[in-house]
Every structure is written in C-alpha cells, then in structure tokens.
Structure 1
Amino acid sequence: MNDQTLFEGATKPRPFEAGIYKEFDAGQFSRKDCTVAFYTRVDALLNPTVTLLNLGAGRGANIVADYSSYRRKIQTFSGRVAKVIGLDVDPAVEENPDLDEAYVIDPSGKYPLLDESIDIIVSDHVLEHVDDPQGFAAEIDRVLKPGGWFCARTPTKWGYIGIATRSIPNSLHVRLLSRLQPQRKAEDVFPTRYRLNSISDLRDAFPPERWRHCSYGYNGVPSYHANRSLFFRMIDVYNWLMPNTLSAKFHVFLQKRPDAQNS
C-alpha cells in the first residue's frame, strides 16, 4: 500500500498526506485532520431528536468521494438525527444522498423553512462565499431555535488560504486549484467573497448579546501544496508560527442564546 489504497472495492490514488503522517493508516486520517476535528465537535451536539440543516450541502462530495470510511461516517447525518434538510444555490443538492429534504435557494431570499424550526445548522466551507453577511445571519437567526447551534468551517480572512485566495481573481481560481489541489473537481469551486471570515466580522453579524461565541482558529493538514513535500512542510511550519487569529481556518460554533426569541 505504498501508492494505492482500497476504497470501497476500487483502487484509488493514495492521499499525499499518507506519506507525511505515520499514523495515517490507523483509520486513514492524520492527528491534524481538520475534517475529523470539526465533525467530531459537531457530533457532540447531535442527538436522535435533532432537525439538522446542512446549509450549502452541495452534491455530497464529502461523503461520496472521501477516501476515509471514518471521515465519511462522521460527515453523514442521515440515520443519526430525526431529519436532515439541505439547502444550496446549486441544483446538485438534489443529488445529495444524505438528505431527507433538499431545496435549491436564492442566496438573497428567505429559506423555505419555518421560524425556529431547526436545532442545528452545519455549514461547511460556505462563509467565504457569502455576499451579504447581515442577511445571511438574519436567516440563520430566523430558522434556528433558541439554544440551537450554528456550526461552520471556513478559511480565515488573514490566514494563508484567505490571503492567497483574495489576492487572485475568482476567474483564475479553477485553473490555479487544478495545480494546487489536483484532486478537486472544477464543479466544486465557487466564487469567494471573504466578508464573514474574521472574528470581528462574525461578531458584527452574530452579536454577542444574542449569540454565545465558542469559535476558534484551527491549523490542520496543509492545503494547496501541489503535492510537493517541501511546499507542504513550509506551510506546516508557517501555520505553527502563526497566532490563533491568523490560523488557516475557523471552526465556528455559535449558540443562539435561549432567551433570544424572534420578534
């Protein structure tokens, strides 16, 4: 198993980081795995009575294409909660295998959901694409029950991913990512805005008097390294040197305060 790994009956290329982290083959993830860290914390908030909204659910590439059976398991909500609803601007959401209900939405419009009908919202790599932070936050506030959680993972504005992405025009992102992340499909690349990707941005959109902030910076396995060991290790050292506010990503955990009733 030096360059290939068995993946549900088919042989696929072995992930690059498998050659970096000696523990990788014990579960097919590293000790620094960002996906495992984020979804483990989300999992701690789940119970069988929960109605969960996957906001930006997409086609379910994280479940269909992930090389690790453990990572696929912790990213799958169906069967672990009462209902999974998916919303996305991309019609591909209707193909997502993890959803009980799927809706294509207008990002500037209201979600097709009742007020205070959702217990937990999970939004993975969506905040960096938001055009209108206040409108986005208002819809989350409207549909989330008091005491409910908004859980999001996103690059930070001032981490290396955020700085690099904002320095390059959106029109060039697909071409560049084909080199830096060869495994990523073009249909999974969307224009970025970075208007909700700093601590101050989050506090402006989700005011502390209405939301309990439990977010933190996280540096996981380096991304955008073009599968080159030297580049990978340089990013890893850079991440180690950076303070929390300049981490590559935020793991956003916001609880709507129990007394925050909708008007």
Structure 2
Amino acid sequence: MTDFTHRIHSEKGVDGFTALDGTVKFYGFVHAILLKTGARQVLDFGAGRGAALVDDRSVYRRHLRDLRVGGAQVTACDVDEIVTTHPASDRQVVIKPGERLPFDDGSFDVIVSDMTFEHIEDAPFVAGELIRILRPGGYVCARTPNRFGYVRMVSSLVPNRHHAGALRSVQPDRKALDVFPTVYRMNSIGQIRNLFPGCTVFHFNDSAEPSYYFGNAFLYRSFMILHRLLPGALATATNFFIMKPGEGVAEQDCTSAS
C-alpha cells in the first residue's frame, strides 16, 4: 500500500525509501567505519527493542541497521528490559542509569547510538563511559536531533509527559513504547567536542524528508520546502563520528568533560 509521498518521491517505489533518507545516509557511514576498522566487537547503545529492524518495510534499511557486518559480534544494551528482544544482536544487556557500563575498558571497536543522545541526562558521565569501553582508534557513531533544529525547538515546548500523545498525532505509526523523555545535552557539535576532548570528531548536519506532518500532503510539501531552505546549522538532525585517539596517544586526552 502506498501513500501520497510516493507521488512526490517516485524512487520510493523501489524499496520504500527516498534519495533524502537520513537512515540510509547515517548507516552508510557506519558501515564504512565497520569495514574500514575491521570491527569485531560492536555495541548498539540505546538499542531498545530494535523497532526499525522489526517494523520497517524497507529491506535495505533493515539490512543497514543490522551491524553484524563481516561476522562482527553485536551487543545490544539499553536501560529498558525490552532490549532482551532485540533481533539483530548476539548479546543483550540491560544497563542502569547512573552506573558504570558493565563492560571492560576497550571492549568495543565501534559503538553505534541511533537517536539516543537526546535522552541522556548525565552527558559527561555517559561520554566518559563510552570512551572508556572503546578501544584506541575506535569510533562512536551517533545520530540525533540537532539541538538547533526546529524539531528540537518544538518538542521543547511540549512537556515530556505529553510526548507520546503528541507523537500519536503527528506520527500515527509511532508506538508509545518507543517514546522516551528528551533533554538534548549531547546534540550539537559544540557539546560533543566539549564532552569528548582530544577525540577527532567528524560530523554532518542533515534535513531528510519530513517525519512530522500529521499525514497531511500540504504540510509535507511545505516542510519539504523548509528543509531545502534551512541552513546546515539549523538542520533537523546531526550525525557524529567520534574517533578515540589510537595507540600511543595518552588515554586521558579523550575523556568526558568535567
């Protein structure tokens, strides 16, 4: 079954995604890093139930979200016990907010965090933990709403307790169990550089096709125009690829901000 967006984006007829798709862009870079580093141990941080791996109709997007590239072992972790149902991981771990992550130093070659950074309250502590468990030369790959984008600005006007109800209006297919409180403390290049000093930070901002349009074709087209006009600094999403210093570089040079 198709909707009006297929008339706007003819290419959606191939596999349900557009040429603007933010998921395809982000995971394209993630896969490049997995291949480049020859990653053997990968952490999906804030993995949840792996909703997109289950609910997404696009075969290609489901393929990209599966991080078991080249035989890599994937650990999925989340504060919610629903992570134990994650379908594309070799191990599932429930973590506790405010506690050290239950992994040894340098355990992972690559850490992927997709739409999780906006929910982290104690950003300095979590950043330090991610770097601690990352091996030298490894990457933290994160996609998150841009702190200066309109999506974040509008959501900040809605109390967290009402987010699930509000999202039901603008995204009818979004399930309440996939909605979590937002705080936006790891959502700009400035914040990330402060939180990961000494690391090399690559990034790009991106405005993909609209996600919040109440199923209305006029609003969708209007937001499409807005996205074309938005300067990069005000894009809806931002993507970070944070590289920990390699062997021979002082470990303390890439720790959390105090």
TM-score normalised by length of structure 2: 0.92
Paired with 1:256 and 1:16, the residues of 2 have a C-alpha distance of 44
How far, CA to CA, are the matches of 2:3 and 2:106 in structure 1? 41
Identify which range, 31-40 or 21-30, moves more after superposition. Answer: 21-30
Describe the SS at the equivalent of 2:70.
coil
The partner residue of 1:30 within 18, 36, 39 is 18
Alpha-carbon RMSD: 1.4
2:77 maps to 87
1:222 paired with 2:205, answer no
SS at match of 1:184: coil
Q: Aligned runs of 1:238-249 on 2, under 5 Å?
A: 238-249=226-237
Aligned length: 249
Counterpart of 1:230, as a letter, is F
Question: 1:40 aligns to what?
Answer: 28
What is the rounded CA distance, in whole Å, between the counterparts of 2:94 and 2:54 in structure 1? 20
CA distance in 1, matches of 2:3, 2:117: 26
Q: Runs ≥4 in structure 1, deviation > 6 angstroms? A: none
Q: What amino acid sits opposite 2:236 in the alignment?
A: A
- Partners of 2:193 and 2:4 lie apart in 1 by 36
Q: Does 1:71 align with 2:61?
A: yes
Asked whether the equivalents of residues 34 and 69 of structure 2 are also in contact (C-alpha less than 8 Å), the reply is no
Structure 2 letter corresponding to 1:139 = E
User: Does the C-alpha gap of structure 1 residues 16 and 133 become closer, same or farther in structure 2, counting only changes over 3 Å?
Assistant: farther
Aligned pairs for 1:25-174 within 5 A: 25-47=13-35, 49-78=39-68, 80-174=70-164
- Structure 1 residue 197, shift from structure 2 partner: 1.0
Q: State the identity as a percent.
A: 37
CA offset at residue 15 of structure 1?
Answer: 5.6
Change (3 A) 1:15 1:86: farther
Q: Decide whether the 8 Å contact of 1:216 with 1:252 is kept in 2.
A: yes
Alignment-derived partner of residue 256 in structure 2? none
Q: Aligned AA for 2:245?
A: R
Q: Is the 8 A contact 1:52 1:81 kept in 2?
A: no
The one-letter amino acid of 2:47's match is: A
Q: Report the equivalent of 1:9.
A: none
Indicate the residue corresponding to 2:166 in structure 1.
176
Whole-angstrom CA distance in 1 between matches of 2:139 and 2:43 = 10
Q: Is the 8 A contact 2:245 2:251 kept in 1?
A: no
Secondary structure of the equivalent of 1:119?
Answer: strand
Matched, 1:194 2:178: no
* Structure 1 letter corresponding to 2:84: E
Normalising by structure 1, we get a TM-score of: 0.91
Letter in 2 for 1:45: I
Distance, in Å, in 1 between the alignment partners of 2:207 and 2:47 is 23
